[in-house]
């Protein structure tokens, strides 16, 4: 195998494919490597941990076709360290030579025949607006769980809703729901549960793309944008009945500027150490934020706000509250509550397409 490619183009391709490479190695050390396949001027880089696979197609100056597997992290580090300009990649026997400028590296290869044969989903593809889908993913992925012992909660549910698509995630402490009207991706009654890790990578790959091609079958989902394709195994199991978690009526409603509230939460949570919650006392005309950590200190801040309902103090995990505020669109938000123990609803006053449900923290 032999080809030339501009350093920055090759770095981007290697870095993207490497994000799917297994960090554990385990029973398949070959998964610590990237498969490099050259045919003519078309170079395909593939990284996989069997759950997530990322392939990147690049156009290069090809000389000799071939296929090898190279240690992923080392390849990225080497190419990134070279001077700007053309990079020459060629293989001889069990070695790959990578050179650029006056630098040259020799790297031992991993036997290519050990790399798993991976196939893309075969179902029909659908095309959706990339920017809208990325925006929706950013709003819901952060509410998915990171606890692998509860795999169902580590995914994002994709389900049809009306004439569009609904994205849902929960870690049992909060719930994020985003509707994408007009985005037709699923047939009626079909739902899929996609790992949030894979969807994070989809967001990174989308960049400024306008359209995203999606293929969903019974076991896998594939997302393709420009020369990058991400394929992930779907999570098997029943997603919680999230609709039953959303209160139908909230007698107390706080309406406040989103930016000022974000800034105030950031300041007050400086004193929220060791899982200390931030308390919000809501009354007519204002909301007071308080964080008290024993033996360290306390913080108080008051903001002007519109409030209707009985005076109420409710406490939240400050990180969860802040995350919800950051992903809620618009300049103004509403926080709707029943009492200090039931779920609170955070949403924009300007759009009904997104809601963030947050469980309060019980305080004495």
Cβ count within 10 A of residue 108: 11
pLDDT tens-place string over residues 278-297: 999 999 999 999 999 988 99
Mean pLDDT, range 289-310, rounded to an integer: 95
Q: Which residue has the tokens 């709003």?
A: 139
Report the interhelical angle of 7-18 vs 72-81 (nearest 10°): 160
Domain 248-358: give its CATH superfamily.
Answer: DNA Polymerase III, subunit A, domain 2 (3.10.150.10)
Whether the per-residue pLDDT at 17 is higher than 80: the answer is yes
Q: Which of 86, 107, 85 is nearest to 96 (CA)?
A: 107
pLDDT tens-place string over residues 107-143: 999 999 989 888 767 778 889 999 999 999 999 999 9
Q: Is 38 exposed, middle or buried (0-12, 13-18, 19+ CB in 10 A)?
A: buried
Q: How far apart are the first and last CA of the chain?
A: 68
CA dist 224 and 230 (Å) reads: 6
Contact between 184 and 360 under an 8 Å Cβ cutoff? The reply is no
pLDDT band at 26 (very low <50, low <70, confident <90, very high): low
Lowest mean pLDDT among 4-8, 243-247, 306-310, 344-348: 243-247
pLDDT band at 251 (very low <50, low <70, confident <90, very high): very high
CA dist 47 and 56 (Å) reads: 9
Query: Domain 125-244 adopts which CATH fold?
Result: DNA Polymerase III; Chain A, domain 2 (3.10.150)
Mean pLDDT of the chain: 94
Domain with CATH 3.10.150.10 in the chain: 2-114, 125-244, 248-358
Q: What was the pLDDT predicted at 186? A: 81
Query: Domain 2-114 adopts which CATH fold?
Result: DNA Polymerase III; Chain A, domain 2 (3.10.150)
pLDDT band at 24 (very low <50, low <70, confident <90, very high): low
CA distances from 109 to 69, 86, 94 (A): 6, 22, 5
pLDDT tens-place string over residues 175-200: 999 999 988 888 788 899 999 999 99
Contact between 115 and 53 under an 8 Å Cβ cutoff? The reply is no
Q: What was the pLDDT predicted at 192? A: 93
Q: Which residue has the tokens 């819901």?
A: 140
Mean pLDDT, range 352-363, rounded to an integer: 95
CA dist 4 and 60 (Å) reads: 6
pLDDT band at 237 (very low <50, low <70, confident <90, very high): very high
Cα 231 to the center of its chain, rounded Å: 14
Q: Round the CA-based radius of gyration of the chain to a whole number and report it.
A: 25
Buried b / exposed e over 21-31, threshold 16 CB at 10 Å, is: bbeeeeebebb
Contact between 124 and 226 under an 8 Å Cβ cutoff? The reply is no
Contact between 154 and 192 under an 8 Å Cβ cutoff? The reply is no
**pTM reported for the whole predicted model:** 0.91
Q: Is 263 helix (H, G, I), strand (E, B) or coil?
A: helix
């Amino acid at each position: 195998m032999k080809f030339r490619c501009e350093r920055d183009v090759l770095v981007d391709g290697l870095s993207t494919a490497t994000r799917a490479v297994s960090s554990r190695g385990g029973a398949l050390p070959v998964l610590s490597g990237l498969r490099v396949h050259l045919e003519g001027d078309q170079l395909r880089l593939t990284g996989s941990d069997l759950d997530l696979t990322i392939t990147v197609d690049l156009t290069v100056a090809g000389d000799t076709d071939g296929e090898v597997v190279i240690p992923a992290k080392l390849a990225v580090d080497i190419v990134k360290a070279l001077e700007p300009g053309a990079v020459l990649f060629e293989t001889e026997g069990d070695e790959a030579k990578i050179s650029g400028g006056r630098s040259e590296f020799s790297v031992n290869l991993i036997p290519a025949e050990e790399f798993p044969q991976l196939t893309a989903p075969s179902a029909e593809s659908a095309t959706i607006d990339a920017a809208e889908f990325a925006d929706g993913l950013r709003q819901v992925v952060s509410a998915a769980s990171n606890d692998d012992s509860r795999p169902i909660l580590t995914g994002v549910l994709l389900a049809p809703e009306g004439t569009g698509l609904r994205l849902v995630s929960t870690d049992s402490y909060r719930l994020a729901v985003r509707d994408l009207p007009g985005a037709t991706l699923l047939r009626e009654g079909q739902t899929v549960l996609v790992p949030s890790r894979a969807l994070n990578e989809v967001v990174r790959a989308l960049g400024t793309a306008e359209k995203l091609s999606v293929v969903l079958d019974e076991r896998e989902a594939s997302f393709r944008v420009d020369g990058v394709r991400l394929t992930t195994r779907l999570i098997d199991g029943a997603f919680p009945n999230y609709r039953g978690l959303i209160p139908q009526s909230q007698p107390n409603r706080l309406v406040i500027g989103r930016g000022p509230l974000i800034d105030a939460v950031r300041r007050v949570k400086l004193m929220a150490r060791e899982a200390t919650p931030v308390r919000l006392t809501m009354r007519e005309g204002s909301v007071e934020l308080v964080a008290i950590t024993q033996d360290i200190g306390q913080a108080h801040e008051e903001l002007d706000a519109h409030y209707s309902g009985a005076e109420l103090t409710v406490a939240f995990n400050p990180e969860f509250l802040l995350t919800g505020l950051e992903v809620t669109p618009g300049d103004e938000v509403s926080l709707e509550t029943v009492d200090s123990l039931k779920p609170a609803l955070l949403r924009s006053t300007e759009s009904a397409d997104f809601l963030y449900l947050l469980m309060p923290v019980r305080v004495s």
